[in-house]
Structure 1
Amino acid sequence: MDDPPEALCVRLHRGLRGEGPLTAADAAALGCALLDLGHDGPAVREAVERRPADVPPAELPGLAAGLLAEAGFEPGFDLVPEQLETLRRALDTVLQDLPAPGAAWSSGTAGTRPPRAWSSPAVGCTAAVCPSPPAATRPRRWRPSPRTSRRA
């Protein structure tokens, strides 16, 4: 029975991480499955046009990575457990940057300095969890109304 594309993505991902075999047969099977789903990117075309035996071992990691990208595969915490620790650090950073309950931002500093998370590798996790600060913590930006900025 054919494996579903998600299972093939997991196998290729594990193979790229060195946690299992990385095979050209799995790459070809994923390429065929993605083609059936309407994907026709360069990695998919390469995977379906070549026989698995003709894929050199040195090219296989690049082909597998291209297939995973074209599939839109994003491994979860079960496959990349170190991302969970990165997420925890990012959340701690966000919590440190938020004012304490009942406290207000210092005058003149809101919005003028980037949060500490912007300078750490946790920025992707931080942005995913907190894409924009809550309205209560965002600085207000006043702009002239179009009616008041026109001259008579």
Structure 2
Amino acid sequence: MEPFVPPSPRARALFHLQAFSRLLLFWVPTVTVATMVGSATWSFGGALTIGASFLFLQALLALWWPWLSYRALGWHLGPTELLVRRGVLIRQITAIPLSRIQHVDVRQGPLEQAFGLTRLHVHTASGLGADGTIPGLEPEDAERLRQELTRAAKADDGV
């Protein structure tokens, strides 16, 4: 089997920006409130130390986790299926039979547009939404893969 194709190298920067956005928008306010509430029970210095330590650990995680996620992500188009690999703690490979593909979307959110990247969504007959999502693709690669998947799905339609 051929190796999995990794996302664009620019996806690493996108994944890091997304992680730091979560850090600033969720963890900083959460730890701030927890520190203020904790200072009513403990001394302010003790609550501040715990809060700062937790934020420091979250910042380290925001630096480290996107890199691991990038390394774990990949895809492979075989003769009968599309394989999508992801997961850091729980490794997962999703096999999407080409015969089950109904349509393929290429999307760009605001951050993806800023980085010049796209996300590919593969929908199958299951009706549960996107069964396979590949983030961090170059637009040309995403469009080429979309065309290949659409062509392969039509060729393997069986109708």
TM-score, normalised by the number of residues in structure 1: 0.27
Larger radius of gyration: 1
